[in-house]
Amino acid sequence: MKFFKNLRTHLPTVKEIQQYRYLHIFGDSLKQQELWTFNRQSTAKGVAIGLFCAFLPMPFEMLPAIFLAALMRGNLPFALAGIWVSNPVTWIPLYTPCYLLGAKILGLQPIELAKISIFQVGWHYVALWLGCLLIGITISVSAHFIISFAWRSQVRQRWKRRKQLRLARKLRTNQQ
């Protein structure tokens, strides 16, 4: 957990965040302690929220991520970090499978980007959103369970290691 201790030193405190005037649009929701703590549940929720919002085909994904993190009490720094999976370099490999899935579900024939006209955008945009929502939900739920499982297994390993150290210490004291 040294990673979280180091990260905590670089993140602003809740009081420092409250001083930013432009963050007052979120009201008191950014004052919640769960948004800034690094425990299993808030971290897993934060990553899941960030990955879900990364799959939203829209600009300014950070705004829904902030609102969802405040609503679901997920870790805000990890929610914002998860969004950066989506950037102009990754849009084509990220959104193409989503569009193809949505087009298949809606029964649309996928069209080439060069042949698209303004009249064809409607249903194909719906197909993109449908695929993005389905894949975003799947990936975010999977990430939540993977992080929770990894966190729990790490805690179990630490408990087991501590138990072995206590047993070894007890054996040494008994032999003396």
Domain tally, the chain: 1
Tens of pLDDT, residues 67-122: 888 888 888 888 988 898 888 888 888 888 888 899 889 888 877 767 666 666 77
Give Cβ neighbours of residue 82 (< 8 Å, ≥ 6 apart): 46, 47, 48, 49, 50, 51, 53, 54, 65
CA 130 – CA 111 distance, rounded (Å): 16
Chain-centre distance for alpha carbon 33: 18
Instruction: State which residues form the domain around 61.
Output: 2-175
- DSSP state letter for 109: P
Tens of pLDDT, residues 70-82: 888 888 888 988 8
Q: Is the pTM of this model over 0.85?
A: no
Nearest to 139 by CA among 51, 7, 65, 77: 51
CA 151 – CA 148 distance, rounded (Å): 5
> Binning pLDDT at 50, 70 and 90, where does residue 48 land?
very high
Whether the per-residue pLDDT at 31 is higher than 80: the answer is: no
CA 141 – CA 46 distance, rounded (Å): 11
